[in-house]
Amino acid sequence: MSAQNRIPLNSEGLSLSRLVLGVWRLLDQGAKPSAAEVARLIDEAIALGLTSFDHADIYGNYGVEAAFGAGLAGWSGKRQSIELITKCDIMLTSSQRPDNRVKHYDTSAAHIKTSVDRSLQNLKTDYIDVLLLHRPDPLMDADETAAGLQDVVKTGKVRAIGVSNFTPSQIDLLASRLPFPVVTNQIEMSVTSTAPLDDGSLDHAQRLRYAPMIWSPLGGGSLFTGTGEQEQRVRAALQTVGDELGVDDISAIAIAWLLRHPARLIPVLGSLKRERLAKMVSALDIKLERQQWFAILKASTGQDVA
């Protein structure tokens, strides 16, 4: 993945790879991966051009960061050659967090600082490249939250701040209290989940020139296994476009559909299998024509545009 396939996030040199590897499934394979296996995963990702790794404190019942960090500690590469993204503010009811009596959100300055310190320890790193607030908190005090975020940036623990699943107005509120930009909003979008095209999320991103990260870019697997009318229509449309372009994998076409949008979407890939990742990365070489893009949209919505 060449330099032109990176996405700059701010004016201070921070950028992400054009596609990001999401590691939330790292502990979903049964046996916990060894440090050597995680280090090998990092190398395989980098070989595919995936230098950015998406985490959250809660992934794997609060266990993924530490498992990844064990591999990172023994990895032979240079820390500055990769980017680590993580998230905080979701508080799960879990044996790992016995004080949480009910699932809730916490965007207090104290929690932000504590969560960052814990993530740094788990990931075995001195800094986090991008910290995201994971979900909008209805009790967010914008002044207090911003103070906590400014503290972790000022102390060098975090390079940049973003959000996840925020509405445009929620981003505006937080941004109004920060002396630096909110660099991304990680939102759900795929060929079967197109709400951001109409809810203002992508318009807001283009207006403020930040690049949204995209979670579940393949619809959580429903694109391949779903039996509903929408999934069947979309699969057929992706296959038709793939046939036109000589591409035999519909996941690559689905990722290319996202990349075609001018808001500079950054899909977060969920597979940890090198073969599957390679097929999705091939989307970088696919340029959909405008009518091909709209044909896929029509298949998703079930109707022509107005």
Give the residue numbers annotated as catalytic, written as ranges: 59
DSSP 30: S
Residue 191's φ and ψ, nearest 5 degrees, are -65, -15
Helix (H) or strand (E) run with residue 125 in it:
none
Yes or no: say if 213 and 185 are a contact pair by the CB < 8 Å rule: yes
Distance CA 283, CA 245 (A): 11
State which amino acid sits at residue 272. Answer: L
C-alpha to C-alpha distance for 49 and 18, rounded to whole angstroms = 8
- Which is it for strands 128-133 and 104-105: parallel, antiparallel or unpaired? unpaired
Compute the chain's Rg from CA coordinates.
Answer: 19
